[in-house]
Structure 1
Amino acid sequence: MVDHTGTGETGLSGRYAAALYALAFEQKILNDVVDQMAALGRLIQESADLRRLIETPLTDAAKAAPVLTQALAAQGFLPIIRNYVNVVIANRRLRDLPFLIAGFAAYVATKRGEIVADVTSAHALSDTQRHQLRARLTEAGYGNVHLREHTDPSLLGGLVLKIGAKLFDTSLKSRLNRLNYSLKGAA
């Protein structure tokens, strides 16, 4: 069963994350690998061409592996990251790469005693907003929180916060939808 949440320790992403974590720890380059996996995730988000290559089901693994390896080498990614991507490709999991990267981040956060909170807002959070959000989460009993930030202009305002299975939606879009449903019920 594929773990598309990217957070499971027993699913696909958990197995890949545990293997990469153990190898990076053994080679004493764990912090560099954590940073570069995050950079790889950002690279995928920012590059439409790379996303298209990853998401296309007809991508030929034999052709994709050398091209992707060369591109990652040109970007300065460590051999361990390039090898990881090659293993993902060889195992026919290229389409799962973004989930595997998220799973690795969640695995590292768990190992470090951090709680991962996905925050989606209409606009990028300012440093003040980030600080206030962390303070509120600490007050709510969530100690060491790692924020993974996403933007979605369709939210219009407010934010959506997901911590584990809990979802807190204070977006303007959600409020307008609730108001719309309540007005339809009153009519």
Structure 2
Amino acid sequence: MVDHTGTGETGFSGRYAAALYALASEQKILNDVVEQMAALGRLIHESADLRRLVETPLTDTAKAAPVLAQALAAQGFLPIIRNYVGVVITNRRLRELPRLIAGFAAYVATKRGEIVAEITSAHALTDTQRTQLRARLAEAGYSQVHLREHTDPSLLGGLVLKIGTKLFDTSLKSRLNRLNYSLKGAA
């Protein structure tokens, strides 16, 4: 796909991110929008009901739009965020909302000169681990890094770090798979 935004974001995610970024900048509320988009991502992640509404492929968008708009208004989200979610629903992209939120965060980070590091670990990182990881990344030349953390219990231990096109996999699951393949080759 072609990057139409100039930030490495491609496809519809990049277009949605660029449009929201431009509108928020024009209204001089960019920092508030960045904070609220992150809060929306956390809300979806933490609320089983909201996550189910977003992820269910058979969600009736005509019914979901007013319910979601009312819920976001009750949570104190800005009109620009509520309208953005409304456009997402109208365009039948509700299932893609978490991806659009992540795409917006990546777009903002790129515009601000930050590098986004995707970190997947078996368990949530502690503050000490996060600090140590940032120090190692700084040593490797990644001084302004925005960490986007995910958990995946199937990794068993260790972590998977993705920065741009580079992937560093120190997970126990990967190590066991490599050991398994090497043992099969030796037999």
| 1:8–1:47 distance in 2 versus 1, CA, 3 Å | farther
Tell me, what secondary structure is at the counterpart of 1:77?
coil
Shift of 1:8: 4.7
Count residues in correspondence.
183
Partner of 1:180: 180
Shift of 1:42: 1.0
Gap regions ≥5 residues in structure 1 = none
**Paired letter, 1:170:** T
CA RMSD, aligned part only? Answer: 1.6
Does residue 71 (structure 1) correspond to residue 71 (structure 2)? The answer is yes
**Paired letter, 1:41:** G
Partner of 1:16: 16
CA–CA distance in structure 1, aligned partners of residues 23 and 75 of structure 2: 22
**Paired letter, 1:14:** G
Partner of 1:54: 54
Shift of 1:45: 1.3
Partner of 2:94: 94
User: Within 5 Å, which residues of 2 pair with 1:25-44?
Assistant: 25-44=25-44
Partner of 1:149: 149
Does the aligned pair in 2 maintain the 1:69–1:86 contact within 8 Å?
Answer: yes
Gap regions ≥5 residues in structure 2 = none
Tell me, what secondary structure is at the counterpart of 2:141?
coil
CA–CA distance in structure 2, aligned partners of residues 139 and 121 of structure 1: 21
Shift of 1:48: 2.1
Fraction of identical pairs, as percent: 90
Partner of 1:137: 137
CA–CA distance in structure 1, aligned partners of residues 64 and 147 of structure 2: 32
Shift of 1:156: 1.6
Does residue 84 (structure 1) correspond to residue 84 (structure 2)? The answer is yes
**Paired letter, 2:154:** S
Shift of 1:37: 0.4
Shift of 1:28: 1.4
Deviation track 1:115-169 (CA, whole Å, cap 9, x = no partner) reads 0001111121122211111111111122210000111222121110011121100
Partner of 1:171: 171
Tell me, what secondary structure is at the counterpart of 1:28?
coil
Does the aligned pair in 2 maintain the 1:8–1:103 contact within 8 Å?
Answer: no
CA–CA distance in structure 1, aligned partners of residues 13 and 86 of structure 2: 15
Deviation track 1:9-31 (CA, whole Å, cap 9, x = no partner) reads 34111111111111111111111
Higher mean alpha-carbon deviation, 157-166 vs 102-111, is at 157-166
Tell me, what secondary structure is at the counterpart of 1:62?
helix
Runs of 4+, deviation exceeding 4 Å: none
Taking structure 2 as the reference length, the TM-score comes to 0.92
CA–CA distance in structure 2, aligned partners of residues 87 and 73 of structure 1: 16
CA–CA distance in structure 1, aligned partners of residues 156 and 9 of structure 2: 34
CA–CA distance in structure 2, aligned partners of residues 143 and 90 of structure 1: 40
